[in-house]
Structure 1
């Protein structure tokens, strides 16, 4: 018993675990790695929060925020303005388009890259929303088809739409349409 106790004391005695310490040399401790990762993310969130928590109330900040909102409406209104100018003064419009024809191709590529980066993220977000709405609509299709079929059963020309079911009294009343009190009253008013 002394030998086994001595071996266990060698490996695990004094608050140590030689096996764990040896394994830590060759493999990262998953718990410690997860804790470091969580701490790094928490610090990043604190940094982002501090960055966006600053209240910018100066004129320059408001001016820059306004400039950031201008490109989309400016491009849309500018394009509509080109259509209007083509109708109002075709010669002026043709002269401007001849000037655009002289723009070198690398500049067009640069403009395409800038516009793609500016609008690309918004386009991707909107296309993902569109795909999601298509999936939701497709998921509702069987219910809509069932609803339409149920509605069509209520049409007046559908066979059995006025079926009284197991009610014998109602079936007898529907067999004799001349027993309609309102219709009889109306006929009586017409005859006088």
Structure 2
């Protein structure tokens, strides 16, 4: 018995677990990893909240937002207009396309880069607005849950809703049946 006790004292003595410490060299402690992951996620949400706090927009910001909404509909409607003009006035359309055929290739590349950057930047702005709205929504989760709990407690069928509390007279009065003339008339009519 003394040998086994000494062996366990070497392995587990001094408030340590040599087996666990050895395994943690090769494999992460799942509980400690989950705690670190939760801390990282909480810090990231706090950072998102501080980065994406909506500031009131001035007239210039609103004007630029309106101006940014023009190119996509203009490109879509312009392309549809080209199809219609090709059917309605083929000669006029052919003359315009001959003019476009004279545009040098580097200018086409430049147009492609500009359009790509415009739509890429627009996508990023919309993505950031979406993330901001998610952070705002998550910030409202706590009060909403508390409000739902408070509303559930007000339901007439919730547990303890009719509890008179420590008032003995109210409890006795709730159990006492009262005379109800309408109910008695109804019973007599049956």
TM-score, normalised with respect to structure 2: 0.47
Q: Which is richer in helix?
A: 1
Bigger RCO (CA 8 Å, 6+ sep): 2
